[in-house]
Amino acid sequence: MPAVQETIEQVKAIDVDQYKYGFVTDIESEKGAKGLSEETVRFLSAKKNEPQWMTDWRLDALRRFQQMDEPDWARVSYPKIDFDDLYYWAAPKSVEGPKSLDEVDPELLATYAKLGIPLAEQEILAGVEPKNRVAVDAVFDSVSVVTTFKEELKKAGVIFCSISEAVREYPDLVKKYLGSVVPITDNYYATLNSAVFSDGSFVYIPEGVRCPMELSTYFRINEQNTGQFERTLIIAEKGSYVSYLEGCTAPQRDENQLHAAVVELVALDDAEIKYSTVQNWYPGDKDGKGGIYNFVTKRGDCRGKNSKISWTQVETGSAITWKYPSCILRGENSRGEFYSIAVSNGHQQIDSGTKMIHLGKNTSSRVISKGISAGKSENTYRGLISAHRKASNARNFTQCDSLLIGQDCGAHTVPYIESKNASAQFEHEATTSKISDDQMFYCLQRGLSEEEAVALIVNGFVKDVIQQLPMEFAVEAQKLISISLEGSVG
Amino acid sequence: MLEIKNLHARIAEDETEILRGVDLTVNAGEVHAIMGPNGSGKSTLSYVLAGKDDYEITEGEVLFNGENMLDMDPDERAAAGMFLAFQYPIEIPGVATMEFLKTAMNAQRKARGEDVLSIPDFMKRVKAAASHLNVSMDMLKRPLNVGFSGGEKKRAEILQMSLLEPKLCVLDETDSGLDIDALRVVSDGVNKLRSPERAMVVITHYQRLLDHIVPDVVHVLSKGKIVKTGDKDLALDLEKHGYAEYIDTAA
């Protein structure tokens, strides 16, 4: 596989510091006042020219947030976050609503180019014809900078824009669906997000439409002491299909940065949503200093009959990850899937997994989780599979595999299974393994270096999940995993 | 090609001495068989040659084409042309055999400063080598050694050997776990690789493998030392009389 070779070369090129996206973009930005208050929320809402109903929705969430306590059940530890020491609004100064790529600050475009994101539609016009076209929504700190291929998508009836734009342009859709999967009271971080969410993507696929290209969002935190609170809402009408990918990076900073996102998916009758994430936030340095706190609520609602939602995630970044992409299987015959690769190295802490909530008849779900721990990291899979009284013939298959590299890391599996219907069938399989000395020796005997051997064995371990990713991201994900594990042997 | 002088080695963990002064010289073009009873140190010798770090060398030296092999890491030895066919090949889950072959071949080529193989060139080589060993395309797509039968595992080892084109081949009990038909296929594969530029060390308990791979020299290893050296008739003699005589000699 070329990816393995490329990985090794990339790893070598990266030198001691493994995180290649750690640069800071020098761009003039505008920030709101520090601290979390009604004033902050009103300022933010006004900045975005939001209608009154949106401002009220936010204020309602803020009031509830102020009465909530931070949850402590996850297997992660970190100093308490001072929400009054954060900025809730940061935007590159020059980009108040660009109409096209020409109006975007070249500095920003350069940043995205550095990240390897194909923003420029011009390339295609200039005759560079990529195999698969991907429409991108790029979010820089608090605002969406640019969304590509808008016109072409519009022809198919697909709406793909920033959530801020959707609030202004498609208020009926937003009102109907926002908070309908993750209510504002859902949990601490989701409530915080509801009060101060800055930007994110909005996708609407009309009835019977198969979205003509992959949709993708890239999130980038640049500013210091800034929280990123993005909100994504995807609605797939009857019989429609969409595949969506998000990628995330942040500069290398000594302070911890907060990222608390909410993603809501709604699939109606016979609709399918495939949501893939390649998360590579800055994980902190080798001593555990800095890095992103990633507290994310992702949930999909299979609201219609025969609907399907599939989550695929590759998690390599963040100092702390707290994330459980879930499916509510409400419609009859609906199906939920969760494929996950969670790689932790250094001092990273991951507590991630999924919830499959079977409400409707004949619903099925599948969970494949691959955790890889190295260095001094802790990696926990936490999952809930539940069948409610009416969920007759619910089916689930769960497989959790953990791979340990080295002596000082931990892997934990915490599955919860609740069944209130006698006809439900749930299967759970779990394994924990180490890269054995024998495997390493065998590979070395065939001429592989230690790094090549680890990359090969790990890529074999995660293969089931990599296959679920869209082709072009599968290669990227493999590289990323190997880079994350650089220096984990020897 | 291979010179082993007064080699002493012990298990690193508990310091049990296994090799107690092995002397062996194998020239290019020769096939040497090493026979001996269980626990005589045959497998240890093969692991020490490949550089497994479970063993400590306490005395002696090993020269490979005049270079001190004991100073080289296992992957450096491999790139220099040392190949070990394992008695118990290791499973690599999720890694297709084909992918493993390509990774290994290119790793060695890179270590030697050669260009990586183009895909068509690689495929051509694999197909040619695989057909000689009755290795099907289907088997090449399966993860390496995972769920392979005894015969498939050994054929996969010889397939790797033929593709990596080593200068020195050490075969550790390649006949174990093989039925008669598989033994023939594997032996034919090995015989095809015999050449004036290549040396082979064949480790085995039994004479029957040597009916197929006829050695130039036969050694008896007992209690960590070579106690007898002869031609292929020595193997026949052992088959008749067993190892008892040599165990006593060593004691």
The conformation of residue A452, written as its DSSP 8-state character, comes to H
Q: Is the pLDDT of residue A64 over 70?
A: yes
Average pLDDT over residues A332-351: 92
How many other CB atoms are found less than 10 A from the CB of residue A76? Answer: 18
How many other CB atoms are found less than 10 A from the CB of residue B181? Answer: 10
Per-residue pLDDT band for B49 (boundaries 50, 70, 90) equals: very high
Please check whether residue A432 touches B, CB under 8 A.
no
Closest residue of chain A to B117, computed from CA coordinates: A2
Tens digits of residue pLDDT in A33-47: 677 888 888 988 888
**How is residue A145 written in tokens?**
């900078």
Tens digits of residue pLDDT in A280-318: 777 777 777 778 888 899 999 999 999 999 999 888 878
**How is residue A172 written in tokens?**
């009926």
**How is residue A258 written in tokens?**
């907060």
Interchain contact, A448 vs B89, CB within 8 Å: no
> Judging by beta carbons within 10 Å of its beta carbon (0-12, 13-18, 19+), is residue A318 exposed, middle or buried?
buried
Angle at B183 between CA B178 and CA B188, to 5 degrees: 150
Tens digits of residue pLDDT in A111-136: 656 555 555 444 443 334 444 455 66
Residue A444 with chain B: CB contacts under 8 Å: 51, 73-75, 78
Size of interface A-B (CB pairs under 8 A): 83
Average pLDDT over residues A82-95: 68
Ranked by mean pLDDT, the top range of A158-162, A200-204, B72-76 is: B72-76
Q: Is the pLDDT of residue B228 over 80?
A: yes
How many structural domains does chain B have? 1
Across the interface, which of A447, A461, A464 has its CB nearest the CB of B75? A447
Provide the mean pLDDT of chain A.
Answer: 81
Interchain contact, B78 vs A447, CB within 8 Å: yes
Rounded Cα distance, A432 and A412, in Å? 9
Helix count and strand count (H, E) for chain B: 10, 10
Q: Is the pLDDT of residue A344 over 50?
A: yes
Look at residue A198 in the predicted model and tell me its pLDDT. 82
- Tokens 């802790």, residue located: A378
Look at residue A62 in the predicted model and tell me its pLDDT. 92
Q: Are B1 and B27 in contact, with CB atoms under 8 Å apart?
A: yes
Alpha carbons within 13 angstroms on the beta-carbon side of residue B118 total 3
Pairing mode, if any, of strands B217-222 and B225-230? antiparallel
Look at residue A468 in the predicted model and tell me its pLDDT. 81
Q: Is the pLDDT of residue B238 over 90?
A: no
List the alpha helices (DSSP H) in A219-281.
none
Q: Is the pLDDT of residue A178 over 60?
A: yes
Look at residue A124 in the predicted model and tell me its pLDDT. 41
Please check whether residue A128 touches B, CB under 8 A.
no
Rounded Cα distance, B107 and B105, in Å? 6
Residue A439 with chain B: CB contacts under 8 Å: 90-92
Give the range among A104-108, A162-166, A199-203, B65-69 with minimum mean pLDDT.
A104-108
**How is residue A222 written in tokens?**
């640049």
Average pLDDT over residues A449-457: 90
Per-residue pLDDT band for A327 (boundaries 50, 70, 90) equals: very high
Residue A445 with chain B: CB contacts under 8 Å: 50-51, 74-75, 77-78, 83-84, 86
Look at residue A25 in the predicted model and tell me its pLDDT. 62
Closest residue of chain B to A460, computed from CA coordinates: B94
Interchain contact, B143 vs A460, CB within 8 Å: yes
Residue A1 with chain B: CB contacts under 8 Å: 99, 102-103
Look at residue A26 in the predicted model and tell me its pLDDT. 61
Across the interface, which of A448, A461, A462 has its CB nearest the CB of B103? A448
B138: which residues sit within 8 A by CB, 6+ positions away?
none
Average pLDDT over residues B174-193: 90
| Residue of A6, A8, A435, A445 best to disrupt the B interface, most CBs of B under 10 A | A445
Measure in Å the smallest separation between the Cα of B147 and chain A Cα atoms.
Answer: 15
Across the interface, which of A1, A438, A461 has its CB nearest the CB of B99? A1
- The 10 Å CB-count burial string (b at 16+, else e) for A99-125 is eeeeebbeebbebbeebebbbbbeeee
The strand order across the sheet containing B17-26 reads B17-26, B2-11, B55-64, B67-68
Distances (CA, A) of A361 to A304, A327, A353: 12, 15, 24
Closest residue of chain A to B157, computed from CA coordinates: A446
Q: ipTM of this model?
A: 0.95
Predicted TM-score (pTM) of the model is 0.79
Helix count and strand count (H, E) for chain A: 13, 23
Stronger pLDDT, B25 or A122, i.e. the higher one: B25
What is the domain range of residue B54? 2-250
DSSP string, B160-180: HHHHH--SEEEEESTTTT--H
Q: Considering only CA atoms, which of A173, A175, A178, A215 is closest in space to residue A193? A: A178
> What CATH number has the domain bearing residue B201?
3.40.50.300
> Judging by beta carbons within 10 Å of its beta carbon (0-12, 13-18, 19+), is residue B131 exposed, middle or buried?
exposed
| Residue of A402, A432, A442 best to disrupt the B interface, most CBs of B under 10 A | A442
Look at residue A132 in the predicted model and tell me its pLDDT. 47
Look at residue A120 in the predicted model and tell me its pLDDT. 45
Q: Considering only CA atoms, which of A344, A481, A479 is closest in space to residue A10? A: A479
The amino acid at A418 = E
Interchain contact, A442 vs B107, CB within 8 Å: no
Residue A474 with chain B: CB contacts under 8 Å: none
Rounded Cα distance, B145 and B89, in Å? 7
Q: Is the pLDDT of residue B178 over 90?
A: no
Rounded Cα distance, A385 and A111, in Å? 41
Residues 453-472, chain A, touching B (beta carbon < 8 A) = 456-457, 459-464
Bridge partners (DSSP) of residue A92 are A29
Give the range among A81-85, A175-179, A339-343 with minimum mean pLDDT.
A81-85
Look at residue A489 in the predicted model and tell me its pLDDT. 61
Tens digits of residue pLDDT in A365-424: 999 999 989 888 899 999 999 999 999 999 999 999 999 888 888 899 999 999 999 999
Rounded Cα distance, A388 and A385, in Å? 10
End-to-end CA, chain A: 24
Q: Are A373 and A405 in contact, with CB atoms under 8 Å apart?
A: yes
Provide the mean pLDDT of chain B.
Answer: 92
Rounded Cα distance, A437 and A428, in Å? 29
Look at residue A105 in the predicted model and tell me its pLDDT. 62
Measure in Å the smallest separation between the Cα of B194 and chain A Cα atoms.
Answer: 20
Interchain contact, A445 vs B95, CB within 8 Å: no
Distances (CA, A) of A253 to A14, A23, A290, A350: 18, 9, 6, 20
Residue A4 with chain B: CB contacts under 8 Å: 103
Closest residue of chain A to B112, computed from CA coordinates: A447
